[in-house]
Structure formats: C-alpha cells, structure tokens
Amino acid sequence: MADVFLSTKQVAEFLDVNEKMVYTLISEKGLPATKITGKWKFPQRLVEKWLEKHIINNPSPRGDVTASGLLVFAGSNDLLLERTFALFNRSHKDYLAVFANVGSMGGINALNKGFCHVAASHLMQEDGSEYNFQFVPEKFGGDPPAVINFAMREQGIVVAKGNPLKIQGIKDLGKSGVRIVNRPLGTGTRLLFDSELKNAGIKPEKLKGYNHECRSHLEVALEIAAGNADAGLAIRPASNLLGMGFIPLRWERFDLLVGRDRFFDKGVQSFLGLLQEPEFRKIAEKLGGYSLDICGKIVYPQPVRRSKE
C-alpha cells in the first residue's frame, strides 16, 4: 500500500493544533516531515507512530521505521543533502527518502529513539576541536552508531551584497544598529554562533534580532536579502545561491549517523553509494562551499591501531 502524505493543514487537524504549532512540533518534537516537494508533507503512517510514542505510559520504548522502501532522515538542514534526496528518489524508484528538519540534536535524539534510519549532524564539541564524537557516547552509550562523513562545508556570516555595513567578523555583529537573524536551539549552527559570541565577549541579549530564528540556512540568506536583517550565520552555498556577501568563519564536518542495526540495510547502502557518483559531486561543485575529500568515509568509531610487536 502506498504511503499517504498529509498537508500542513491536514496534520494540524489530525493533531488538533493550529498550523503554527505544527512547525514547532517538527523543530522541537521530531514530528516526521519532508520538504522535498517544496511544501511540507507528512507521512500519515509515521505521524500516527509519532503520536503513539508521545502517549503517556506507552509501553514501547523504541520507534519503528520498518516500512518497506521508506528511508527516514532527521537532523540538520543542508542544501546538498536536500538535493541528494531528490537525486536518490529519482534514481531509486523502490525507495522514498524523507527528511525531518529538527536540528542536529533533534536528529541524534530521533535516531536514539528509533524514529529514523539516519541522523544528519554537525554538532561542534565544546573545545571546538571535533564534531559529533562527544555526543555519540553520551546519547548511545555502549551501542554507538557509525558516523559517516557527508561533506565538509564552510560556515560563515551572510551579509547583504557588497557588505554595506563593512562587517568583518563576529565582533562587528555587536555594533549598534546591526540586525541579526539566528537559527533555533538544538541546531549545530546555533551552537557554533553561541560559541563564537562567547569567544568574542558578546552577550547574546545585547544583539538585535538574537531571537529572530529561521529554520534553514537558505531562510537566513533570504531574510537578509529581503532587508529584514543585516547578518546571520549560514553555510556558503546559501549565500552563493542568492549572490550575497559572505565572511568565512570555519570549515565544519557534516556527518550522517547510522545505527549498527540499520547500517547494512539495502536502502541505507544505496544512499551511501550515491555519494561516490559523479552526478552527486557535480551538484556539490555547482553549489560551492563544500569539500568531498572524506565524503563517504566512516569517521567514528575510528579503527584501532595495533602496535607492532
């Protein structure tokens, strides 16, 4: 039986909430959703499963994403990842990849609870030296997922074309009159931004627009292009698409996390195999701001090096 997809209005009626609350449930509670078609769509079967898992005293401790042909991703937003879903769905007719944009931490939580097959994450560790590794043992204990690199990508400050306010770095965001746009709590970009502010000695509450949040990198760039903000953290591809200014901050590792029980599933392996295809690499090159040097490599758990006797 084919999966039935609900519109935002329909899922709001099904859950008996207003439509704005639906977006909050996607972001904060892991409501399964996809935006591949340009509009939010909700797999009815997964919404029903999600609702069951939120019933008080529900005896089942773990989710179930066993629908044949359905490949569920959850976590951080990324432009190349979105286009890879479209490429996968075109080239693998027996599968449908869907995505819940719930932020890096939301994706890790969803994977831990069995609500998805793959989590997408770029959570920077407190010391800034690594990504994602610190959070794997914290969430999964003795049964950690495999961490596969999807891409390295460039994070920075998006500004209006020509950089009229002459913003050169994080410290300039604290200047009087500068309006920023932010990302939600639980996203890797928000974690990076808060870390950069702390290092620069800037108190978040002093920034105009700190609580002005956008759900994706592209939405950040669109807000700045529309004149609703002057600057915000996002990846370079979002800036490139709109011809905006960009002040680079750092390259980060954007990873896919897959549970051991799902790693060798045919759908998961088909998706990972796509990362080596020329068409995928052409898409990354066209977007700009990506490096695929370690794309597709397992970066955690790292292999044990045996000492020579």
Q: What confidence score (pLDDT) does residue 197 get?
A: 96
pLDDT digits (tens, 9 = 90+) for 82-141: 999 999 999 999 999 999 999 988 999 899 999 999 999 998 776 666 666 676 777 787
From 118, 144, 140, 91, select the one nearest 254 (Cα to Cα): 118
Structural domains present in the chain: 5-152+252-300 (3.40.190.10), 155-251 (3.40.190.10)
Where would I find the H helices in the chain?
8-15, 19-29, 44-53, 79-91, 103-112, 135-140, 188-200, 217-225, 236-242, 266-274, 278-287
3-state SS, residue 102: coil
Which pair of tokens denotes residue 80?
Answer: 């190349």
Report d(CA 263, CA 269) in Å as an integer. Answer: 7
Q: What is the dihedral of CA 300, 60, 94, 287, to 10 degrees?
A: -40
Q: What confidence score (pLDDT) does residue 303 get?
A: 52
Q: What confidence score (pLDDT) does residue 129 get?
A: 62
Q: What confidence score (pLDDT) does residue 95 get?
A: 92
Residue labelled with tokens 């920075």: 156
Encode 202-213 in three state secondary structure.
CCHHHCECCCCE
Low-confidence stretches of the chain (pLDDT < 70) are 1-3, 36-38, 52-67, 126-133, 135, 302-309
